[in-house]
Amino acid sequence: MTSTQLHRHAAHDWWRGATLYQIYPRSFMDANGDGVGDIAGIIQRLDYLATLGVDAIWVSPIFTSPMQDFGYDVSDYRDIDPLFGTLEDFSRLVARAHELGLGVIIDQVLSHSSDQHAWFRESRQSRDNAKADWYVWADPRPDGGAPNNWLAAFGGPAWTFDSRRCQYYLHNFLASQPDLNFHHPEVRQAQLDNLRFWLELGVDGFRFDTANFYFHDQALTDNPPSSDDYRSRGHPRSYQLLKHNADQPENLDYLEEIRALLEEYPGATSVGEVGGSDPLPAMAAYTAGQHRLHMAYTFDLLNSTGDAVDLHAVLARFAEHGEDAWPCWALSNHDVPRSASRWGSARALLALTVLCSLRGSLCLYQGEELGFEEAELSYAELQDPFGIALWPEVKGRDGCRTPMVWAPQRNGGFCADSLSPWLPVHAPHQSQAVSLQQEAPESLLNRVRKLLELRRENATLKTGQQTLISPSVLPKGVFGVIRHTPHQQMVCLANLEHEAGHAPEHDNAPVMLDLPALMGSRMPHGQHHDPIEVVSLPGMATPSLEAGQLSLAPGMAAWLVVPADTSQEQDR
């Protein structure tokens, strides 16, 4: 067994209930002095992540790329872009991470490549070359227009005309990101071979970008329009349901091929990004059983603002479709405004406490543990093609991608102060620098460390079942779940109403919660059971519990350890 295999083999299901930490490498740490983060910079900061208490890192794309979409346009699936380092650097990263007990998950962008990839360069030359059918090509309509009405994520048609073939090619994202034709068996096998390459280098798994976009309807049927409540101003693709260019039945078969490959490498895992018009049922289907993806996530919680009813609705809809499915919940990533801005900075710890109470695996995004809010950038500072194309209605993703701040200095310790980083350091983040928070016992960083430790050491929270508490039996603004195993159950509650100092005085009063009413038949009866324990949560005032009545102030959370119930499990 090599050193690169140690983490994988430690526990076959290490990923279940694990906490992942997403690294956006351009913005994490610059070690070579060019103003862009790199693999050597990640290695320098691995000790920090090990002490944070996460189980694995997810590294966003580092493959060779022209960087039209910052690595999500791959021109070589088996090499590292010189901007980030070399394959030797990557091997050092894997080895050091494993020494620290951290798994390494890397992005895989299978659905589309860069238009600079050798495959596409060959494919576009003619209609009869060896790669002619490796991408999705279609003839124009009789009037010369695009083959159908499909729209691209970044605006405009999902089709671009190529004069060499006198055909259109499909691109669900940028025109420089042509979609591969997964109906072609050679394409499917080529991507499996690329996955095997990285597994042989010791990675512990993959995060699959746009995992539900591998296949398309070969009849190229027009997508139907969406309803008014689904449409998002400034985002044209939301005006149609992605019925024919995503979530095709063949996708499930290919996920099974991927899983079969991963099973050859004990402990290797997978997490899929599932977008589209109705992603929660797809997320459940993609992770159901033991033969598809291990985990998946949608944008439902990534877009949440901390409303208790909305949170319940997302979790309930997922549970409807996947009793044995396994989610990977996240509140922030490189594609959405930061959760501290959406939930409110005063609720940053509360948001993560709610996240840690949920069934599934978790993913933190760099800076989330520090309380970073979304950065404000001017149009001139933008790098993201999404924001540049759709400004000002959509400001793009640069606001969540600004550099990590390690020290309270001009460039935040991300790179030398004499340099100009690829995106400017957000000045308000300097007061939240890692070095400052590490020295403050009650900082958000240290509270998050304690929170992750509480979850990691409690099997009920990591892998227990989950029963949602209906909003109909909870006071307004309170969210709750019951986590349970045969040996223990925990009631996890959060008062998401306005915190003190940010709402009218009458809204700041604690609410009273009747624990027997909330738990119903799960509440133990009789005199012969252990007392209910109120867990001391970092940064939270310990609520009072008397005669089954719990007092919970706005902006506070409570975890209660309740003796195990042996009655039949049921939802409330």
Catalytic site positions: 209, 264
**Contact indicator for 179, 136 with CB cutoff of 8 Å:** yes
Peptide bond into 392 cis (omega under 30): yes
| Beta strands 205-208; 103-108: pairing state | parallel
**Contact indicator for 295, 261 with CB cutoff of 8 Å:** no
**Contact indicator for 98, 4 with CB cutoff of 8 Å:** yes
- Where does residue 396 fall: left (phi above 0), alpha (psi -120 to 50 degrees), or beta otherwise? left
**Contact indicator for 354, 481 with CB cutoff of 8 Å:** no
Q: Which residues pair with 106 in a beta bridge?
A: 59, 206
Please give the distance of CA 156 from its chain centroid, rounded to a whole number: 26
Can you give the length of the chain in residues?
572
Name residues whose C-beta falls within 8 Å of residue 527's C-beta, 6 or more positions apart in sequence.
none
> Where does residue 109 rank: exposed (0-12), middle (13-18), buried (19+ CB within 10 A)?
buried
Q: How far apart are CA 79 and CA 107, in angstroms?
A: 13
What are the backbone dihedrals phi and psi of residue 83, each rounded to the nearest 5 degrees, phi first? -60, -30
**Contact indicator for 122, 63 with CB cutoff of 8 Å:** no
DSSP strand E in 215-291: where? 269-273
